Amino acid sequence: MKTQAYINGQWLDKKSTFSVTNPYDGSDIAQVADCDAEDARQAIKAAHDAFQIWRNFSAGKRSRILKNWCQLQLKNQKELAQLLTTEQGKPLTEAIGEIRYGASFVEWYAEEARRIYGDVIPGHGRDKRITVIKQPIGVVGAITPWNFPSAMITRKVAPALAAGCTVVVKPSDLTPLSALALAELAEEAGFPPGVFNVVTCKNPVAVGEVLTTDPRVKKISFTGSTQVGKLLLKQSADQVKKVSMELGGNAPFIVFEDANVEDAVKGCMASKFRNAGQTCICTNRIFVQESIADEFIKKLSEKIQALKSGNGLETGTEVGPLINEAAIQKTASLLADAVSKGAKITIGGKRQSGLFFQPTLICDVSQKMDIFKTEIFGPVAAVYTFKTEEEVLQMANDTEYGLAAYFYGRDYARIWRVAEGLDYGMVGINTGMISTAVAPFGGVKESGFGREGSKYGIEDYLNIKYMCWEIQ
């Protein structure tokens, strides 16, 4: 387990450290280097110098190093997953899934590194020729969240590195150990010093400010809350930095009366309780058509009641702890508000010991409650009912967020209408699982912009240059 920062290929000790704790039992796991603004500037300098080298590696050479990194992640998946569960709390099966998911971005972009094609455009005159090339942007600042401490790093860093950019990663102070483990494997994979840097810190403000205001950083890629995203956007605006923002969500999960109810319940459980409800694309509002509401709620209740909470490292655990006290308080207060306005808790609803919150089902929820507008980020399934397609589309789109949406139904004409009518960047149709390296992940509205994964994901790390040739 590495606990020093990783800057310019060196492991850096700091006098000042911060503790990382296990959310399962609050125990101390490690003391990690607490970097400051000066360390962030050093990392940027290293990345800036290394950019001149890395961008000039052939695509094939960059690709081979990325492939080495992917293979090392897969080879060490068990150890990486154990570390991830220990600092984050999610069940080990999910942590293994995250390591594989994270490695799949590295594999995908190792392949895409060789396919950064340009264009030849018919000129605008007989003597004109136009060519288009794509070039790496430069140094990228990647600010990553605690809910996916490994995969959100590889999802940003792999396309950046494939494009020829270099990176400075600032992981969450709650989960820096997975980031440092990735750095150790990057070193082993053969990235030259300075290409991949990790700046760990307790207080994100100073390092975040350096990343967003140092002119050597050409792009910021952030995953986290809309509130912090807006701040980073403002800070980045002065230098007109390129930015990608993967922010909050408020995912609707709609079940139409012609849906296969068993399948819908399965999809709902998967998208609601993944990571104890702590993902940006977790189902946040479940809308069920009135005629099948009783059947759906009964089946959903049975599944929620059967969920096993506990230590993520123990076999059979399905729901881990929440990340911190603030998450517990937020969940409890959303439920209190909903109940005060007429909602009924039918399962759970209470804090358990430590950072555990009971998997919860709440019914008779309505648009006037805070839970309708707020990203819950906890294990609470909130069920609304509706009568018509028009009504549910209005409710589903009644939010400033636009990340993921899901719906179940079989009428193909309605499937098209609803899929097109949902103001979201991603739509799951008869599925609750939409995350994959081969598709463009990202949102609209206040859920952000930019795409991660797929052929589109690398574009965010490339500048387009066009050359106009005049031939005599």
Q: Which residue is nearest to ligand SIN (CB)?
A: 435
Contact code string over 360-379 relative to ligand SIN, x by CB under 6 A: --------------------
Q: Please confirm, yes or no, whether 452 is among the known catalytic residues.
A: no
Q: Beta strands 139-143 and 217-223: pairing type?
A: parallel
Piece of the chain touching ligand SIN by CB under 6 A; list 69-77, 172-180, 252-260, 279-287: 279-287
Contact code string over 212-251 relative to ligand SIN, x by CB under 6 A: -----------x----------------------x-----
Q: What is the DSSP letter of 191?
A: P
Element (H, E) at 198: strand 196-198
- Which ranges in 33-175 belong to alpha helices (H)? 37-54, 59-75, 77-88, 92-112, 151-163
Altogether, the residues listed in the chain come to a count of 472
Piece of the chain touching ligand SIN by CB under 6 A; list 14-22, 276-284, 301-309, 376-384: 276-284
Q: How far is the CB of 204 from ligand SIN (least distance, A)?
A: 17
Q: How far is the CB of 43 from ligand SIN (least distance, A)?
A: 24
Q: Kindly report the backbone phi and psi dihedral angles of residue 12, in degrees, each rounded to the nearest multiple of 5, phi listed first.
A: -105, 120
> Alpha-carbon distance 16 to 327, whole Å?
27
Answer yes or no whether residue 435 interacts with ligand SIN by CB under 6 A.
Answer: yes
Q: Please confirm, yes or no, whether 268 is among the known catalytic residues.
A: no
State which residue, 283 or 289, has the beta carbon closest to ligand SIN: 283
Q: Looking only at residues 90 through 129 of this chain, which bind ligand SIN when binding is defined by CB under 6 A? A: none
State which residue, 48 or 90, has the beta carbon closest to ligand SIN: 90
Piece of the chain touching ligand SIN by CB under 6 A; list 235-243, 273-281, 315-323, 461-469: 273-281
Residue position matching structure tokens 């300098």: 45
Count of other CB atoms within 10 angstroms of residue 388? 10
State which residue, 246 or 446, has the beta carbon closest to ligand SIN: 246
Residue from the set 147, 244, 283, 284 that interacts with ligand SIN by CB under 6 A = 147
Q: Which two tokens stand for residue 171?
A: 């992981």
State which residue, 45 or 170, has the beta carbon closest to ligand SIN: 170
Q: How far is the CB of 441 from ligand SIN (least distance, A)?
A: 6
Residue tagged active-site, from 268, 280, 282, 363: 280
Q: Count how many Cα atoms sit within 13 Å of the Cα of residue 169 in the half-sphere of its side chain.
A: 35
Q: How far is the CB of 278 from ligand SIN (least distance, A)?
A: 8
Answer yes or no whether residue 279 interacts with ligand SIN by CB under 6 A.
Answer: yes
Q: What is the DSSP letter of 441?
A: B
In 3D space, the residue among 303, 380, 378 whose CA is nearest the CA of residue 339 turns out to be 380
Piece of the chain touching ligand SIN by CB under 6 A; list 20-28, 81-89, 275-283, 336-344: 275-283
Residue from the set 259, 280, 293, 380 that interacts with ligand SIN by CB under 6 A = 280
Long-range pairs of 325-332 with CB within 8 A, sequence gap ≥ 24: 325/355, 327/278, 327/355, 327/377, 327/378, 328/355, 328/357, 328/378, 330/376, 330/377, 330/378, 331/357, 331/376, 331/377, 331/378, 331/379, 331/380, 332/357
Element (H, E) at 268: helix 261-273
Residue from the set 148, 196, 377, 407 that interacts with ligand SIN by CB under 6 A = 148
Q: Which two tokens stand for residue 23?
A: 């959310």
Give residues in contact with ligand SIN (CB under 6 A).
Answer: 147-148, 223, 246, 279-281, 435, 441
- Mind telling me the catalytic residues? 246, 280
